[in-house]
Amino acid sequence: MLLTHFDWLQIICFVGGIIILCPLLGSYLARLFNAQPLFLTPYFGWIESLTYRIGGINPNEEMGWKRYAKSLLLFNLCGFLGLFLLLRLQSFLPFNPQHLPAVPWLLAFNTAISFVTNTNWQAYSGETTMSYASQMWGLTVQNFLSAATGGAVLMALIRGLTRKCSVGIGNFWVDMTRIILYLLLPLSLLMAVALMTQGVVQTLSSYVQVETLEGGHQTIPLGPVASQVAIKQLGTNGGGFFNANSAHPFENPTALSNMLEMIALVLIPAASVHAYGILIGSKKHAWLLLGVMFAIWVGGFALSTYSEHLHNPVLEAYPVLEGKETRFGINNSLLWSTMTTATANGSINTMHDSLSPLAGGVALLNMMLGELVFGGVGVGLCSMVMFVLLTIFLSGLMVGRTPEYIGKKIEKYDIQWVMLAVIMPGALILIGAGIASVLPVALEGRLNLGAHGLTEILYAFTSAAANNGSAFAGLNANSDFYNLSLGIIMLLARIAILIPSLAIAGNLAMKKITPPTSGTLSTSSMLFTVLLFCVIIIIGALTFFPALSLGPIVEHILMIRGVAA
């Protein structure tokens, strides 16, 4: 039997927790996105007003999509420069009890881009590289800001779909403020307290020196961990305070903390779909989108489970626990690996390099699809909407009529931006991995040769282009080549979804809403759901099947023949 009764209980609790919390938080998000009063308004309203006064912001002022995009880019540029300088100057700043030196400039460049783009790729060991100041003032702050940026773009896109004859899609500064104040901060506070009750550390004390049972000495790293873990999960940021990430007992000490962190990484993205249905006036359409997401995730999880429980003639061991945290076991490792790569979270509680070939391939494919299976905060649903528009456009071509979505005609201008958002991440993955596969300086970072070595390289560029940040753990990415190339790819990939979403929002907002006719394709039908599912899978298969064949697929074939890849 692949799964025990206890394994099934964990799966039921995980999926059940999402299903129960999704409508509750989704209804709250709908009110937040619609600028309606919230139960937190009496407590945080004065902070919101004070923020506007200090920033000179008129909360009633609308922005066109170009101004909205300029504000977003300028804000994130300032965030990048601030974080880069903080990392370079950390040796002179307080809250550095270990007296850690400045972060090397290329690593600081990579890390700053990583956290500003909500990728949280980490080519360093947190406990030996980052001071408490860098962790708190730099990385944790950007966890909030990058997640809020994605949420703000989703709010703008929804306005573009629902408004008519409008040139405005909202105010970037207002959207950012409201998302942080009324969503991310309260949830993170509750999550941090819950994690501290489970034993996640939260302190500014220096590292502790202890004597082991063998008479040796060991340094126990500490730090303000719970506060960072809370927002890294809720904001689909990923990364970790410690190098071992959520496999570290100080980040994830118990079975309950593991379950809470897994639910947290998908909570906001899944709830956003429910809120989307409320705001566009079609809950059925939203539930069908959620159904497509779950179907893709369940398929990946099932394949990963099957693969992990196959007899491995190379290792001659069952179960294969190498690289897995034995406190959590195989089932929890696969639940986490499939969901973290589907949600753009990037945190890990097991070494993905040690997963079976097909399980590692599923993690790869989840990211290659654009992480639209729930995806990151805001941008995950934006990616799904891109595929919805593409499906509607292709359906319109087949019947010979102008495609429509929520009463808005989808025309050439919109599809051009859609294609940029769909094609750009894939191009970045394949071009980057192709270059790294032939450059000696890049090949030196591999831990393994052959198919597994190719998967290590492919995973790194996929993680960067998908703004995921999870690492395969078999590649030494802290080199000049990878710090520079992956940093550039993370930036381009983030822009490739944010700007098209805003451009489409601005164009659709100016259009009239036309009532549906007998020739309009219903987006709340099972036919549309099947078409959408097929478009997502076919595009992923056609784009990445050759690369996957040379990596995890051929490695799986070799494994069952008893040959080490």
Q: What is the pLDDT of residues 219-231, one digit of tens each?
A: 888 999 999 999 9
User: What confidence category does residue 77 fall into, taking pLDDT thresholds of 50, 70 and 90?
Assistant: very high
3-state secondary structure of 3: coil
Please give the backbone phi and psi of residue 131, each rounded to the nearest 5 degrees, phi first.
-75, 170
What's the pLDDT at 291?
93
Using only the alpha carbons of the chain, give its radius of gyration.
Answer: 23
Per-state percent for the chain, helix, strand, coil, to nearest 5: 65, 5, 30
Could you tell me which residues are beta bridge partners of residue 408? Answer: 405
β 408-409/217-220 pair status:
unpaired
Mean pLDDT of 423-433: 93
pLDDT band at 1 (very low <50, low <70, confident <90, very high): low
Q: How much is the pTM?
A: 0.93
CB atoms within 10 A of CB 386: 25
**Residue whose entry in the numeric block shows the structure tokens 């023949």:** 561
Distance CA 136, CA 431 (A): 35
H-helix or E-strand spanning residue 116:
helix 105-116
User: What is the Cα–Cα distance from 170 to 158, expressed in whole angstroms?
Assistant: 10
Phi, psi of 51 (to 5 degrees): -60, -45
pLDDT tens column, 355-374: 889 999 999 999 998 878 88
pLDDT in tens, 305-320: 999 988 888 777 777 8
Euclidean distance between CA atoms 466 and 119, whole angstroms? 8
Amino acid at 188: S
Give the residue-averaged pLDDT of 169-175: 95
pLDDT of residue 301: 94
| Omega prior to 313 cis, within 30 of 0 | no
**Between 45 and 316, residue with greater pLDDT:** 45
DSSP state of 552: I
pLDDT of residue 140: 93
C-alpha span between 352 and 348 (Å, rounded): 8
Beta-bridge partners for 217: 211
Separation CA 26–CA 149 (nearest Å)? 18
Dmax (CA) of the chain: 80
Q: Which residues contact 52 (CB under 8 A, 6 or more apart)?
A: 58, 59, 173, 174, 177
Residues 6 or more apart from 122 whose CB is under 8 A from it? Answer: 111, 114, 239, 240, 243, 469, 471
Question: Span 237-257, mean pLDDT?
Answer: 89
Instruction: Give pLDDT tens digits for 520-539.
Output: 778 888 999 999 999 999 88
Residues 220 and 208 sit within 8 Å (Cβ to Cβ): yes
List the chain domain ranges: 32-272
Rounded percentage of the chain residues whose pLDDT exceeds 70: 99
Beta bridge partners of 312: 317
Look at residue 565 in the predicted model and tell me its pLDDT.
64
Q: Residue 341 pLDDT > 70, yes or no?
A: yes
Give every CB contact of residue 228 below 8 A, 6+ residues apart in sequence: 135, 136, 139, 140, 143, 241
| pLDDT digits 0-9 by tens, 94-135 | 999 888 999 999 999 999 999 999 999 998 888 889 999 999
Residue 240 predicted with pLDDT over 90? no
391 pLDDT tier (thresholds 50, 70, 90): very high
Average pLDDT of the residues of the chain: 91
pLDDT value of position 95: 92
Torsion of the alpha carbons at 382, 388, 392 and 394, rounded to the nearest 10: 100
Chain position carrying tokens 């905060």:
377
CB 104 within 8 A of CB 479: no
**Residue 366 near residue 293 (C-beta atoms within 8 A):** no
